[in-house]
Amino acid sequence: MADSPKSSDWLLELGDARGKEDWTGKGIAHAVSGFRLGAEEAAVIGIFGMLLLLVASVPNAESQSVSGSNLFLFVAAVLPVVFVLRLLAAREDRQKTTDLFLMLGMLLLIWEVILGKLDLLDPFLFPSPERVFDVFRVDYRIMLVGMISSFSILLSGYLLGLVVAIPLALFIGWRKRAFDTAYPIAKAVSPIPPTVYLPYAIVLLPTFSSASVFVLFIGAFWPIFVGTVNGVFNIDQRILNSARTLGLKEHVMLSRIVLPAALPSVFSGATIALIMSFVTLTVAEMIAATSGLGWYIEYQHQYANYDKVIAGMILMAACVVIVMWFFDRIQKHALRWQNAGRL
Amino acid sequence: MARLGLKDITVSYGTNGKRTTALHNINLNIEDGDFVSLIGPSGCGKSTLLDLVAGLRTPSSGQVLIDGHEICGPGPDRGMVFQDYSLFPWMSALENVRFAVEHSWARTDKDESLEIANRYLDVVGLSSFRHKYPNTLSGGMRQRLAIARMFAMNPEIFLMDEPFGALDSLNRVFMQDILVRLWSKDAKRKTVLFVTHDVDEAILLSDKVVVMTPTPGKIKEVVKVPFSRPRKRQSLFVSQDYIILRSKLLARFSEEMQKDLEKQEKELITWSI
């Protein structure tokens, strides 16, 4: 397989002026421009500098202070470093990164000034960032165990949903008769919040985790199912015709043509399912668990430890961000053909 | 016996209350190795006819025969190129060709199909784009790829549904040359059924031109193209015979268009009243 074009050189020369243009294009301009710190980026650094200065040198109001090492100081110091590293790593997303960190920095600064330094609100309900971040130091072990428990339930339920819903939906979307029967049922049943099945799941299944996995599975199943069926049903007829002219066997047709053609819709269903899964998980844990992120928040809530409640919320948000990041990566890779864009 | 035979074909659709006839009483025989173009205004059922031969559609009555046997459904003995959408956007250029080669003839030898795919990509000058996805290629490149796919599949009959219809004129000329070059290269030429609405394209490429008329779709005339191959554009386009044939076909074509337009106009008037 020679890479060098032989008799075909003339083809490249003659035809497709458009094709050639595609090669040069943008991209290069971005790469060439050097790294300079703009006004907005400087503002972000300035805000974090102010925050650091405040946290390090000005003592908190008595009711809002913590004893021992200050984890928030560490966070306030690490965030600007992360910011600069991100700017260097992903220059295309510069504006996005800057805006994001600007928001984050302002939020932390306002939080620190109003609650930590000025103590303007009831310290019982509104803890300072120092107190909230101190929870991570104190409770990291119980949080870690909770994360493991939450993630194992989340992943098992969600993956089970994927594995069951996608093949079933492919088949049903492909067969008109099955579709006509199943789709109205799916439409009626899918909006029912999955947590209503929880009492039955707890009674019928041996352990709490298996019951939670089941409920998560139900919650994940419907959006994926509906997304996939829709995807199959909306495949461009012309692409299907092109595939038909190849005389494919049915299983090849389903796996190599129908599934990839429906994949964008499968992913939009799977995204909804993932978000649903987080909500379902938290609610399920709040009701019956003895460990996990949702349980932690609910438990601390009952004891009115609001600093711990907020810490739990931050941890949960961080987990969501991390999971969604991985999900996005997978989606971008699987659909790389779709928005491949011109070079 | 003709390679490809259409016998008393009628296609109609719609419910009993309002039935539309797309094709009416079509009879056509195409010999082995013939390059036949179907021309006619839109709505004359030329694409429908191609779909019938491809097996994507079944006639309401009549038969599609290949070597005397009635076809049932699509098969690897017939390859098709569409105006666009022939390719699968989730497969790279190479994968598109290899997939077709592998599955159309149920080939098991992966190396062999890879070798065939690479060879045909090279032939159409796309070997350096083999790992690109169709969305990143220009329209002309995509059609080159679709043609490479068809030749690599090596079917007995080529079905082409306005394959160059979406291309600009420069690219179209270029694609016509590639097609004829590849088609003439084979010792045993393939039978081609080529749908177009471009009279020049039809004359340049075909041995026979089938002129169709709309509502309902019928074959009006089958015109033989007498020019010897290889045909050179420069000399062909200025020759007396070419100009006569061209104006004859155009006259048929425009006659029908005129009738169709008048009919549409009348309908419009009755509608507005």
Q: Do B125 and A236 touch (CB under 8 A)?
A: no
Q: Do B79 and A8 touch (CB under 8 A)?
A: no
Q: Do B82 and A243 touch (CB under 8 A)?
A: no
Residues of A in contact with B121 (CB under 8 A): none
Q: Is it the case that residue A113 has pLDDT exceeding 80?
A: yes
Q: Is it the case that residue A2 has pLDDT exceeding 50?
A: no
Tracing tokens 């003659």 back to the chain, one arrives at A14
Among B147, B142, B144, B118, residue whose Cα is nearest residue B130 = B118
Q: Is it the case that residue A133 has pLDDT exceeding 80?
A: yes
Q: Which residue of B has its CA nearest to A260?
A: B90
Residue A32 near residue B148, CB atoms below 8 Å: no
Distance in Å, alpha carbon of A302 to nearest chain B alpha carbon:
52
Distance in Å, alpha carbon of A261 to nearest chain B alpha carbon:
8
User: What would the mean pLDDT of B98-121 be, rounded to a whole number?
Assistant: 87
User: The complex's ipTM?
Assistant: 0.86
Q: Which of B51, B73, B137 sits opposite A19 (nearest CB)?
A: B137
Q: Which of B54, B88, B128 sits opposite A257 (nearest CB)?
A: B88
Tally C-beta pairs within 8 A across A and B. 119
- Which pLDDT tens digit goes with each residue over B54-85? 999 999 999 999 998 999 888 888 999 998 88
Distance in Å, alpha carbon of A177 to nearest chain B alpha carbon:
20
Q: Which residue of B has its CA nearest to A241?
A: B56
Q: Is it the case that residue A249 has pLDDT exceeding 90?
A: no
Q: What is the CA radius of gyration of chain A?
A: 26
Distance in Å, alpha carbon of B71 to nearest chain A alpha carbon:
13
- Which pLDDT tens digit goes with each residue over A15-71? 444 444 444 444 444 444 555 678 888 999 999 999 999 998 888 888 888 877 788
Instruction: Give how far the C-alpha of residue B221 lies from the chain's centroid of Cα atoms, to the nearest Å.
Output: 18
Chain B within 8 Å of A89 (Cβ-Cβ)?
A: no
Is the four-CA dihedral A294, A297, A300, A301 of positive or negative sign? negative
Question: Residue B272 — pLDDT band, cuts 50, 70, 90?
Answer: low
- Which pLDDT tens digit goes with each residue over B178-191? 899 999 988 888 99
Among A100, A102, A219, A58, residue whose Cα is nearest residue A153 = A219
User: What would the mean pLDDT of A251-258 be, rounded to a whole number?
Assistant: 93
Secondary structure of chain A in HEC code, one letter for each residue: CCCCCCCCHHHHHHCCHHHHHHHHCCCHHHHHCCCCCCHHHHHHHHHHHHHHHHHHHCCCCHHHCCCCCCHHHHHHHHHHHHHHHHHHHCCCCHHHHHHHHHHHHHHHHHHHHHHHHCCCCCCCCCCCHHHHHHHHHHCHHHHHHHHHHHHHHHHHHHHHHHHHHHHHHHHHHHCHHHHHHHHHHHHHHCCCCHHHHHHHHHHHCCCHHHHHHHHHHHHHHHHHHHHHHHHHHCCCHHHHHHHHCCCCCHHHHHHHHHHHHHHHHHHHHHHHHHHHHHHHHHHHHHHHCCCCHHHHHHHHHHCCCHHHHHHHHHHHHHHHHHHHHHHHHHHHHHCCCCCCCCC
Q: Quick one: what percent of chain A has pLDDT higher than 70?
A: 88
User: What would the mean pLDDT of B235-244 be, rounded to a whole number?
Assistant: 88
pLDDT at A341: 52
pLDDT at A77: 93
Q: Name the token pair of B210.
A: 């089938």
Q: Do B133 and A1 touch (CB under 8 A)?
A: no
Among A132, A146, A150, A156, residue whose Cα is nearest residue A66 = A132
Residues of B in contact with A3 (CB under 8 A): 127-128
Q: Which of A6, A17, A242 sits opposite B86 (nearest CB)?
A: A242
User: What would the mean pLDDT of A271-287 be, rounded to a whole number?
Assistant: 88
- Which pLDDT tens digit goes with each residue over A78-112? 999 999 998 888 777 888 899 999 999 999 999 99
Residues of A in contact with B124 (CB under 8 A): 8, 11
pLDDT at A132: 94
Q: Do A246 and B138 touch (CB under 8 A)?
A: no
pLDDT at B273: 62
Q: Do A243 and B88 touch (CB under 8 A)?
A: yes
Q: Which residue of A has its CA nearest to B55?
A: A245
Q: Do B85 and A6 touch (CB under 8 A)?
A: no
Chain B within 8 Å of A248 (Cβ-Cβ)?
A: yes
Q: Is it the case that residue B50 has pLDDT exceeding 60?
A: yes
Question: Poorest-confidence range of A123-127, A201-205, A285-289, A326-330?
Answer: A285-289
Q: Give every strand in the sheet of B218-224, ordered side by side.
A: B78-81, B157-161, B191-195, B35-39, B208-213, B218-224
